[in-house]
Chains A and B, each alone.
Chain A
Amino acid sequence: MENDAAIGAYEYTCYRINNGFVKGIHLVNRKELTFLERIYIFEAFKGILITSTHFFKNIFLHTAHLLGFLKGQSAAVTIQYPDEKREYAPRLRTRHRLVQREDGSPRCVACMLCETVCPAKCIYIIAGEDPDPNIEKVAKKFDIDLGKCVYCGFCVEVCPEDAIRMDTQIMDIAAYSREEMLLDMDELLHPGSRKNG
């Protein structure tokens, strides 16, 4: 051990730190293991004691639940995902939606800011002329490819019309093909309306 250069260097560093050569470093002194801890058998049994305490407590609770007792005490912390869902925070960035005006038309004026800012280049807008003379443009097509989106939320921040929001609380983007991950304007206006979207 004494001849081991690496350990020697390490000990020298410790010595310097302990004697105040190096400021601002907090050195943790590891506790030496006692003999009983080192032969490991008793420690292993202690560990098994902990796991089996959990095991028997939970088995007891599961059985009690099956028989209809102790419903208040839960035996597992599992959330059965597709059936039960956790409450998401309202500010969480979830799937996009396009906000509508009072008359039902989309608020988007096809200014292309979101398409420009999107770091994943996954927004595809085709602009058209709006029938209302006060409004210049309207989006004819507005697609978002969720397969590419990184959920950064830049599109929401950049929009001057507050036309796009990420507050649908829909988290899953599972689909059988890449095409199904492409959300079109209809889906974006009515989030969750498509079956596999």
Chain B
Amino acid sequence: MLVKIVLTLIVIMGALNLAGFLTWVERKQSAVIQDRIGANRARIFGLRLLGLFHPLADMIKLIMKEDFTPRLGHKTLHMLAPFISVFFALIAFAAIPIGDHLMLWGHPVSLQVSNMNVGLLYIFAVMSMGVYGVFLAGFSSNNNYSFLGGLRASSQMISYEITMGVSLIGIIMIYGSLNLQDLVQAQGHYWLSWIPQWGIFVQPVGFLLFMTAAMAETKRAPFDLPEGESEIIGYFVEYSGMKFGMFMLSDFLETVLAAALLATLFFGGWQIPYLFSDGFHFPWGGVWLIPQTGVALLGVLSFSLKIIFFCWFLMMVRWTLPRFRYDQLMRLGWKMMLPLALMNILVTGLIMVLLKEFIL
């Protein structure tokens, strides 16, 4: 029990800190891409540390700012909306396995906050609840623009949720489980004992579709029409101070979540190629034994690195591609990605049947 609480704290703190850290990464990465230097003014005792204190300064600023509620807005809902957004983005992490079993005082401890057998469904359910935060924010502000922004955001999120779910059915069919820990374990097998059976090799189309849909789900460029801070008015115009900050935070949390899901479902989760429960067994013959604790910790490390890589990659996409128009966005979602995802299921099923009939 105590171990679980500690694990929960580690996961929550990890996700929140990574999300806060991403605000810094976003500034610095965009700066480096565009040949600039980026935010570097905040300092403590003359220490600048590449501007690492900026997230801290931002937070202090946001907390100190006036917290404004529109006069005719719905006070309770207006208050509730940002919390709903952050809450549902945060509890989705419960189902994500951050590592294999860790032996503690002779007991195996699963490195997953909650090992539920419908983990994937749970994550989808929780992610779609996030729409409520967005929509309530638009609705409760008593502002036509934020209302329209909320409608825009919810229609986008609902559209892309369908593609997101459907694009994963191929993975579920192949590995035959909804439990994320099982899915990760299944990705630890090898073809010809060389190629790891990672989701990206099994379902390349599913990967592309899921990545695109997940990007749209996080409401960040090139799909940032719901927000469009600078020119289109988004659902959180009437928010100020830390409540606005919480919407921003939930965006970054969702980015971390998308990265974690991509790593879990398509890049072997905590698996490291050729690392088995007792150490490395290389296909070219070498064996390097590692104690079980070391293996589990290496798994956590590899999972964290994968998440960080995907955060970097999603950021890269965000600073490369221009924003879609709204009709393009809807066309992409309904007319291209959804049929492709359905086709993907069909082709996957066909190949599975053929493999069963003729090879096995």
Contact = CB atoms under 8 A, between A and B. Distances in A.
Nearest to A75: B35
Interface string A65-99: 00000000001111010000000000000000000
Interface in B19-40: 29, 31-37
Interface string A22-56: 00000000000000000001001001101110110
Given A41-B208, A47-B321, A55 B36 contact: no
Contacts of A59: 32
Nearest to A49: B320
A54 B37 contact: no
B319 interface: yes
A178 B321 CA distance: 43
A22 B208 CA distance: 48
A47 B320 contact: yes
Given A41-B208, A48-B316, A48-B317, A55 B33 contact: yes
A76 B31 contact: yes
Interface size class of A (residues with CB under 8 A): 10 to 19
Nearest to B34: A54
B37 A55 contact: no
A137 interface: no
B37 A78 contact: yes
B40 to A, nearest CB: 8
B316 A62 contact: no
Nearest to A80: B37
A41 B209 CA distance: 11
Interface string B311-333: 00000110111000000000000
Interface size class of B (residues with CB under 8 A): 10 to 19
A58 B208 contact: no
A134 to B, nearest CB: 55
Nearest to B31: A76
Nearest to A66: B50
Contacts of A41: 208
Contact of B37 (A44, A51, A76): A76
A50 B34 CA distance: 11
Nearest to B336: A39
Nearest to A59: B32
A41 to B, nearest CB: 7
Nearest to A79: B37
A73 B283 CA distance: 44
Contact of B32 (A47, A50, A55): A55
B317 A55 contact: no
Contact of A55 (B29, B208, B321): B29
B323 to A, nearest CB: 13
A51 B222 CA distance: 15
B319 A51 contact: yes
A76 B36 contact: yes
Interface of B: 29, 31-37, 208, 316-317, 319-321
Interface of A: 41, 44, 47-48, 50-52, 54-55, 58-59, 62, 75-78, 80
Given A44-B317, A76-B36, 8 more contacts: A44-B320, A54-B34, A55-B29, A55-B32, A75-B35, A76-B31, A76-B35, A77-B35
10 contacts: A48-B316, A48-B320, A50-B320, A51-B33, A54-B34, A76-B31, A76-B32, A76-B37, A77-B35, A78-B37
